């Protein structure tokens, strides 16, 4: 009897959260979709034998058949291979833009909330102005300045996302800096960097992870929009956005050129949105609907 009781390990906090997460079918579906898209695009060569850039002008616009399951595009390139490789760009841009936006936004928000005064006023005024503006237009403006390219796309979307992060961090820093544990740390001589990094940041980590997931979804959708407009990564590199764009002149005779990449976007963005919702339920109980 006694032995048995001892052998039961206390459940760790992490495992408890994981079980809560698994209980929600929607979030599990989100995780599955996100993992699926990541695996097939990162491991693209394992899932297709075709080169996404190899042209074959004799088989232009051939409809789907058993060897080329999604058909061929205007240059006779295999649509399925292009779809998989394009996923790499979307995921890369999505994740990097969120990291960059998080870094810029969180630093600004923390600085504003922690220092107060004129710095706070200036930063938050800028954040409010940027937030008041439609983010897609902001991204277009930044890309008009920087020109097309993968890194520039990450920078543009990162800048678009940063005001949101700044606002969240600003609020957190404001409410946390008056709490006893922060004042305690300050009274024993901890500097601002230590306080921000060790005491304030961990307390908003949950919220940041949730926003990170939801905004990765937004970033992927925005990347697709900008690519569709023609401001994205330059051809021939495939992205879901520029594949749809290339397909639009052929909507009458070959609609699948635009329809399939769109499904890829939908599945990916839906996955990250569901994942974010699920994470919110787990990490942020007071926000639960």
Partner 1 sequence: MLKYIAQRLVLSVPVFLGVATIVFLVVRVIPGDPAVSALGDYASKEAVEALRQRMGLNEPLVLQYVHFLMNLVRGDLGTSMITGSSIGDEILRVLPYTLELTVLAIIIGSVLGIPIGVYTAIRRNQLADYLGRILSLTGLSVPAFYLGILLMLLLAIQLNWVPAVGGGGMDDLGENLRHLVLPALTLGLVMTASVARLARSAMLNVLRQDYVRTARAKGLKERVVHLRHALQSALIPIISVTGIWAVSLIGDSVTVELVFARPGLGKMMVGAILQRDYTALQSIMVVYTCFVVVINLAIDLIYGWVDPRIRH
Binding site for partner 1 (CB under 8 A): 125-126, 128-130, 132-137, 140-145, 217, 221, 224-225, 228-231, 244, 248, 251-252, 255, 258-259, 262, 265-266, 269-270, 273-274, 277, 289
CA 210 vs. chain centroid, Å, equals 11
Q: Give the whole-angstrom CA distance, residue 47 versus residue 64.
A: 17
With respect to partner 1, which residue has the nearer C-beta, 160 or 200? 160
Report in angstroms how near the CB of residue 170 gets to partner 1 at its nearest: 18
With respect to partner 1, which residue has the nearer C-beta, 176 or 224? 224
With respect to partner 1, which residue has the nearer C-beta, 67 or 129? 129
Report in angstroms how near the CB of residue 108 gets to partner 1 at its nearest: 15
Q: Give the whole-angstrom CA distance, residue 270 versus residue 267.
A: 5
For the chain, list the strands marked E by DSSP: none
With respect to partner 1, which residue has the nearer C-beta, 61 or 140? 140
Q: Give the whole-angstrom CA distance, residue 102 versus residue 96.
A: 10
Report in angstroms how near the CB of residue 63 gets to partner 1 at its nearest: 15
With respect to partner 1, which residue has the nearer C-beta, 186 or 250? 250
Question: For residue 76, what are its two tokens?
Answer: 């006779």
Which residue in 252, 258, 255 sits closest to 240, CA to CA? 258
Contact 87, 41 (CB under 8 A): yes
With respect to partner 1, which residue has the nearer C-beta, 177 or 221? 221
Report in angstroms how near the CB of residue 282 gets to partner 1 at its nearest: 17
First to last CA, the chain: 43
Which residue in 82, 106, 108 sits closest to 203, CA to CA? 106
With respect to partner 1, which residue has the nearer C-beta, 18 or 133? 133
Report in angstroms how near the CB of residue 276 gets to partner 1 at its nearest: 11
Sequence length of the chain is: 289
Which residue in 82, 117, 110 sits closest to 166, CA to CA? 110
Report in angstroms how near the CB of residue 134 gets to partner 1 at its nearest: 3
Contact 80, 74 (CB under 8 A): no
Report in angstroms how near the CB of residue 83 gets to partner 1 at its nearest: 14
Question: For residue 34, what are its two tokens?
Answer: 């996100």
């Amino acid at each position: 009897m006694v032995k048995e009781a001892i052998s039961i390990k206390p459940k760790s906090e992490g495992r408890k959260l994981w079980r809560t997460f698994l209980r929600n079918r929607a979030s599990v579906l989100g995780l599955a979709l996100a993992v699926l898209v990541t695996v097939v695009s990162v491991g693209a060569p394992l899932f297709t034998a075709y080169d996404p850039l190899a042209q074959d002008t004799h088989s232009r616009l051939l409809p789907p058949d058993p060897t080329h399951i999604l058909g061929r595009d205007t240059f006779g390139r295999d649509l399925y291979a292009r779809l998989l490789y394009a996923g790499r760009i979307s995921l890369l841009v999505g994740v990097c833009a969120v990291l960059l936006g998080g870094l810029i936004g969180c630093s600004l928000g923390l600085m504003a909330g922690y220092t107060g005064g004129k710095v706070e006023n200036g930063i938050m005024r800028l954040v409010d102005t940027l937030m008041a503006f439609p983010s897609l237009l902001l991204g277009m403006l930044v890309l008009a300045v920087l020109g097309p390219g993968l890194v520039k796309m990450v920078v543009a979307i990162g800048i678009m996302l940063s005001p949101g992060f700044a606002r969240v961090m600003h609020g957190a820093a404001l409410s946390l800096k008056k709490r006893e544990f922060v004042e305690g740390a300050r009274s024993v001589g901890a500097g601002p960097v230590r306080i921000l990094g060790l005491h304030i940041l961990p307390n908003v980590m949950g919220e940041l992870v949730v926003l990170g997931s939801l905004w990765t979804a937004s970033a992927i959708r925005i990347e697709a929009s900008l690519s569709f407009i023609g401001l994205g990564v330059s051809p021939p590199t495939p992205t879901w956005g520029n594949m749809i764009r290339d397909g639009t002149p052929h909507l009458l005779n070959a609609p699948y050129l635009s329809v399939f990449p769109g499904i890829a976007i939908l599945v990916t963005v839906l996955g990250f949105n569901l994942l974010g919702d699920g994470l919110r339920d787990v990490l942020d109980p007071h926000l639960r609907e």
